[in-house]
Amino acid sequence: MTKQVRKLPIRLMMRFSDPLIEQRFLPFYEGFYRSYAQASLVLGMILVVGDWLVDHLVFPNVPANEYRIVLSVPILGLGLALSFSRVGKRYWQPLMAAVIVLVGLSLYWTLYRIDLQGGSGLASWVGILNFTFFELYCFVILGIGFRYALPTGFLLFLGFEVSILTALTHEIEHGSYLTYHVFTVFLLAAMIGWWREYLLRKEFLALVELEKATQVAQSQAEYLSEHDAVTGLHNLTGFIAVLDRKMHAAIDQHRTLPLLLIDLERLRRVRDAFSQKTADELVRSLVHRLRESSILFQPSPEFARVSSFEIAVLFRHVQETAMVIEASERLLDALRQPFQLRGQDFYLQPNGGLSMYPNDGDSAEATLKAARAALAMHANEGRFLHFYNADRDSALVKRLQLEEDLRVALAGGQLSLAYQPLIRVSDRAPLGVEALLRWTHPSSGLIVPAEFIPIMEELGLIHEVGEWVLNKACEQAVRWQQSGIMLNEIAINVSGLQLADPGFAGKVSSALTRSGLHPRILVLELTESVLVHDNDAAMAQLSALKNLGLRLSLDDFGTGFASMMSLARFPFDIIKLDRSFVQAAPSSRVAAAIVEAIMALATRLRMATIAEGIETGEQLQYISALKCDFAQGYLFSRPCSANEVALLLTSNRLSSGVSNGHDIELTG
């Protein structure tokens, strides 16, 4: 705006450089003058009638006086009438200019005639007085813009000159005298007119500027009332407004609106320990990261900073629970990565609370409240993401929460190993153990591997966990040995995914080296599934493992699809008969046939056999009659802690049976 003030032309023909402002100025200018102009036209009529009356009395024998009434007064009257019309208002400048020129010319002619008829007309002071009035009307009173007033005023001047020169052809001196005076009047009126308009234009610019400033301030205030100054995101007020709008649409379309509330309590600590500025910078880069990691969400989510330490996310690309959780996890994961600021790493450790409109709340506020309530639960259960939802018990949600919990479990020391003893059937001597993974959930208690191992495999966590199991079990075995316990075998379950990892043999090797466990003691249990997939790679990996000196055991044999041929091809040392056959065999002829066939095969292939899941004496008798080498099951012991199993291992025999030394190796 200041630019335009500078651009206000100190030019003769005034005009704003900005045509828009010029367009707005004219109505303002005319509006300012309109009523004065109309009043002046009335006054003009009164003056003309007055002149007529005076002349009528003083010079009763001058008939030209009548022209005042029949010519000038009607022109003024017509101009006045038109000034009230819409057309008159629209074409104000030409209308007023025309009125004043016509009145001027008509009066010059009248006065010229009066002069001829011996009255006091153009050649007297009356002429100058009239001319002065016309110029005043033209430049000052009628609201004619200077660029129109100047030619109009000049036309009046010209008209006067022509009339006077015609009337006073013989009196050149008197004519020059009059010309001099009317010209000074013309100049004076023009100057006043110009100066007046200049001031008015200046005032108008100031007004426009003020108006704009007010508008800017107003829209800024409006913006700030709905936005966060640091991030430019909506604040709580703005977000509620957005939610309200979206909710109306959602109801019409029968959609749900998922809302994620991200808690950034850590940010408070950053602010306290560092500065507000640091916290602000962090928030900005955090929002940037949120935007980046949601770039594939279409339509993109609505982010808002609903409080200093909370970001709300309204998802718009998904509405199904599972997808919502997945999207939320993606965002939380992104924020979990450290933020680098001035050479320092900041970990924000965000938590999330999820709620759904309209399931969890019937308004924007209620939905936000539900998300906050969900957030509050994380403190109790140690999860990163929580769902406030009536159907949170559904299998799907449960499973997804389990995923979230598993990540915590890994970091939070909630995993442990249980050990189940392995018994030699001939004398019931406990010769080894199988390590079994246990997860103690902070609120749900013990969770069995069948429930979480498939998830770990899916999430790729199995590698990390498997390595942990491997190291932990090897260490434990060495510790037992060091405390004088004879241990022939420690068996570890290995997932097919671990086997597929080319680095797996290396990991096993370093676990052995680190713990100092003799490789012969270590048994890796694999299921048939590893044999069906990638035969060559599996074979290579198994050979590499065998080369480390350890033994391989085929777990759950009979339940999968491995053929007898593949069993012969792969370098297994031990076959574990699946619990289902062992338990069914005493009463089922089919199961018995399978078990017997496997036993025969194992003998021919010189593999040791282990029967799993022995729960009854009858089952034990059955497998012992088949000359099965080893057994495992609740009949002897359930999986138990390292200390408990140490006690079992030091006793010579479990359940009933003949005592024997611990000198037998578990190979066929």
528 near ligand C2E (CB under 6 A)? no
The alpha carbons of the chain give a radius of gyration, in whole angstroms, of 52
448 near ligand C2E (CB under 6 A)? yes
Do residues 261 and 367 lie in contact, with contact meaning Cβ atoms separated by under 8 Å?
no
Cβ neighbors of 623 (< 8 A, separation 6 or more) are 425, 577, 582, 595, 611, 614, 631
Q: Which two tokens stand for residue 170?
A: 């013989």
Q: Which listed option, Ca ion, ligand C2E, none, makes contact with residue 613 (CB within 5 to 8 Å by class)? A: ligand C2E
Distance in Å, CB of 540 to ligand C2E, minimum: 20
191 near ligand C2E (CB under 6 A)? no
How many chain residues bind Ca ion (CB under 5 A)?
5
639 near ligand C2E (CB under 6 A)? yes
Do residues 230 and 282 lie in contact, with contact meaning Cβ atoms separated by under 8 Å?
no
Q: Which is nearer to ligand C2E, 448 or 597 (CB)?
A: 448
CA 589, CA 595: separation in Å to the nearest integer? 10
Q: Which is nearer to ligand C2E, 138 or 433 (CB)?
A: 433
Is residue 147 packed enough to be buried (19+ CB in 10 Å), middle (13-18) or exposed (0-12)?
A: middle
633 near ligand C2E (CB under 6 A)? yes
Distance in Å, CB of 579 to Ca ion, minimum: 6
CA 509, CA 548: separation in Å to the nearest integer? 7
Give me the half-sphere count of Cα atoms (radius 13 Å) on the Cβ side of residue 292.
9
197 near ligand C2E (CB under 6 A)? no
Do residues 608 and 666 lie in contact, with contact meaning Cβ atoms separated by under 8 Å?
yes
CA 522, CA 451: separation in Å to the nearest integer? 26
Q: Site residues for Ca ion, window 514-543 (CB under 5 A)? A: 525
Do residues 41 and 34 lie in contact, with contact meaning Cβ atoms separated by under 8 Å?
no
495 near Ca ion (CB under 5 A)? no
515 near ligand C2E (CB under 6 A)? no
Coil, strand or helix: which one is 168? coil
- As beta bridge partners, residue 553 has 525, 574
Exposed e or buried b per residue across 339-370, where buried means at least 16 C-beta atoms within 10 angstroms of its C-beta: beeeeeebebebbbbbbbbebbbeebeebbbb
524 near ligand C2E (CB under 6 A)? no
Do residues 433 and 490 lie in contact, with contact meaning Cβ atoms separated by under 8 Å?
yes
How many chain residues bind ligand C2E (CB under 6 A)?
22
Q: Which listed option, Ca ion, ligand C2E, none, makes contact with residue 545 (CB within 5 to 8 Å by class)? A: none
Q: Which is nearer to ligand C2E, 359 or 529 (CB)?
A: 529
Q: Which listed option, Ca ion, ligand C2E, none, makes contact with residue 469 (CB within 5 to 8 Å by class)? A: ligand C2E
Q: Which is nearer to Ca ion, 135 or 612 (CB)?
A: 612
The residue range among 132-140, 144-152, 196-204, 548-556 that interacts with Ca ion, by the rule CB under 5 A, is 548-556
CA 149, CA 170: separation in Å to the nearest integer? 32
Q: Site residues for ligand C2E, window 468-487 (CB under 6 A)? A: 469
The residue range among 315-323, 391-399, 491-499, 623-631 that interacts with ligand C2E, by the rule CB under 6 A, is 491-499
With CB under 6 A as the contact rule, the residue among 140, 261, 313, 436 that binds ligand C2E is 436
449 near ligand C2E (CB under 6 A)? yes
Distance in Å, CB of 575 to ligand C2E, minimum: 13
453 near ligand C2E (CB under 6 A)? yes
556 near Ca ion (CB under 5 A)? yes
228 near ligand C2E (CB under 6 A)? no
Q: Which is nearer to Ca ion, 577 or 626 (CB)?
A: 577
- As beta bridge partners, residue 447 has 439
With CB under 6 A as the contact rule, the residue among 177, 180, 223, 634 that binds ligand C2E is 634
Q: Which is nearer to Ca ion, 405 or 612 (CB)?
A: 612
Beta strands 415-424 and 351-357, pairing class: unpaired
493 near ligand C2E (CB under 6 A)? yes
Coil, strand or helix: which one is 606? coil
Q: Which two tokens stand for residue 257?
A: 């609106």
Q: Which two tokens stand for residue 441?
A: 């959930």
637: left (phi over 0), alpha (psi -120 to 50) or beta: beta
555 near Ca ion (CB under 5 A)? yes
175 near ligand C2E (CB under 6 A)? no
What mask, x for binding ligand C2E by CB under 6 A, covers residues 376 to 415?
----------------------------------------
Q: Which residue has the tokens 């009173």?
A: 141
432 near ligand C2E (CB under 6 A)? no
CA 533, CA 537: separation in Å to the nearest integer? 9
With CB under 6 A as the contact rule, the residue among 437, 523, 552, 574 that binds ligand C2E is 437
What mask, x for binding ligand C2E by CB under 6 A, covers residues 279 to 298?
--------------------
Do residues 466 and 498 lie in contact, with contact meaning Cβ atoms separated by under 8 Å?
yes
367 near Ca ion (CB under 5 A)? no
493 near Ca ion (CB under 5 A)? yes
Q: Which two tokens stand for residue 160?
A: 């006067």
615 near ligand C2E (CB under 6 A)? yes
- 5-to-9, 16, 201, 202, 208 alpha-carbon distances in Å: 9, 9, 10, 7, 10
Q: Which is nearer to Ca ion, 490 or 511 (CB)?
A: 490
Please, what is the Cα angle at 21 between 152 and 11, to 5 degrees? Answer: 50
Q: Which residues bind ligand C2E (CB under 6 A)?
A: 420, 436-437, 448-450, 453, 469, 493-495, 525, 555-556, 579, 613-615, 632-634, 639
Q: Which residues bind Ca ion (CB under 5 A)?
A: 493, 525, 555-556, 612
